[in-house]
Amino acid sequence: MALWVDKYRPRELSKLDYHKDQAENLRNLCKQSDFPHLMFYGPSGAGKKTRIMCLLREMYGPGVERLRNETMNFTTPSNRKIDIMTVGSNYHLEVNPSDAGMYDRTVVIDLIKQVAQTHQIDINGQREFKVIVISEGDELTKDAQHALRRTMEKYVATCRIILSVNSTSRIIPAIRSRCLGIRVPAPNETEMTAVLQNTCKREGLVLPPELAKRVIEKSDRNLRRALLMLEASKVQQYPFTANQQIAELDWQVYLRETASQIVSEQTPAKLEKIRDRLYELLSQGVPPNLIFRGLVEQLVNNCDMSIKAKTLEYATQYEHRMQNGAKHIFHLEAFVAQFMNIYKKFLAELVMTDDF
C-alpha cells in the first residue's frame, strides 16, 4: 500500500491537475533535441517534484518509473566516509546532497563525475545524456554551489541537472544564470479542492466540502501536506464529518506551545527551557527556518499591536544572521530573548499606565 500522495501523483504531463499551460510548455521543451539545465522553484508542496518526474517520463518513456534505491559512498578530502541514499532509474538519479551537511560539496562533485563520465550504453535511448535531480538545491552550501557551477559546464554533454529549490534567493547568481528557471506556484484553493475531491473519489470516500476547506486552510496551500493530512484524518476517523479533528503536524503543535510559554514568562530560566524545546525540534530534523517562521507567526499573533512591528523587525535581523551563521540555535535563542525583553518592557509599561 502506498500513500495517497504517491499513489495518485500524476505521472504524465497531460494528466497534471493544474498549471496546464506550463505543462504544455514543458512538453514542447522535450520535443526539441536539446534541453538545458533546469531549475524548478516554488513553495514546498506545490508539485515541483511531480512535474520533474512527468518531464522525465515524457523524455525517456515509462522506463524512468522503474525506480531503485542505491546507497552511494563518498570520501571527503578529510577521509570521512559519507553514505548518501539515492533513487534512480536507468535514465536519472535523484539525490539530496543536503543530507551530507557540510560535506555536500564532495557529494555534488563526485556524484556528477560518476554519472557524467559513463555514457549511456543503450543507443536507442532517446537522449544521450542522463539527468541528475538535485532536490532541495537551496540547502546546498555556497561552497557546493560554486563547485556545482563548474561541473555543470564541464559535463554538459553527458549530463543535465534539474534543481528543485524553494527559493532562488539562496542560489548563487552563477547557477541561476545557467539554468532555465521554471516557477511552480502553489495551487490555489479551488485547484486544491478539486485535487482533494478527486482523490477521495478514486479512493471511494465522501469528503464534505467544509472539511476540505478546513484541511486546505490548515495546510498553507501545501498540497502534499493537505493530502497527507487528509489521509491521516481518514485513518483516525471515517466517515468524515464536517468538523472532525484534523491531524496536525506535531512540530507545529509543539511550536505553538513553545510560543505560548514564551508569552507566559520572561526569565532566563524560562529561556533555558525554551532552548531545550528548540533543541528538541532541531534534533527532530525540522528545518530551522521553518521553526523561525512558525515561531514568529505564533508570537506576532499572541502579542499586542504596539510591539508587533518591532518583533518583526528583529525577526528579520536574526533570521538574516541565522542564514549567515552556523549555529541556528544561537539565533533562534537570540530572537526569543529579544522578544521576551520587548514583551517584558511592554508589560511593565502596561502596569505603570494602569496605576495612574
**Where on the chain is the footprint of another protein (CB under 8 A)?**
1-3, 6, 44-45, 49, 67-69, 85-87, 94, 96, 98-99, 135-136, 139, 222, 224-225, 228-229, 231-232, 235-236, 247-251, 266-269, 271-272, 275, 279, 282-287, 290, 318, 321, 324-327, 329-331, 333-334, 337-338, 340-341, 344-345
DSSP assigned state of 267 = S
Q: How far is the CB of 25 from another protein (least distance, A)?
A: 25
Cα 348 to chain centroid, rounded: 41
Closest distance of CB 125 from another protein, Å: 22
Instruction: Please say which residue, 179 or 229, places its beta carbon nearer to another protein.
Output: 229
Least Å distance, CB 37 to another protein, is 19
As measured in angstroms, the least distance from the Cβ of 238 to another protein is 10
* Distance of alpha carbon 122 from alpha carbon 104, whole angstroms: 31
264: helix, strand or coil: helix
Selection from 196, 160, 157 nearest residue 40 by Cα: 160
- Of 200 and 229, nearer to another protein (C-beta) is 229
Of 57 and 119, CB closest to another protein: 57
Nearest to 227 by CA among 198, 188, 261: 198
C-alpha count within 13 angstroms, C-beta hemisphere, residue 316 = 5
Helices (H) and strands (E) in the chain, counts: 14, 7
CB of 245 to another protein, least distance (A): 11
Nearer to another protein, 191 or 231 (CB): 231
- Residues 79 and 164: their CA atoms lie apart, in Å, by 29
Nearer to another protein, 117 or 236 (CB): 236
**Residue corresponding to grid cell 539562496:** 170
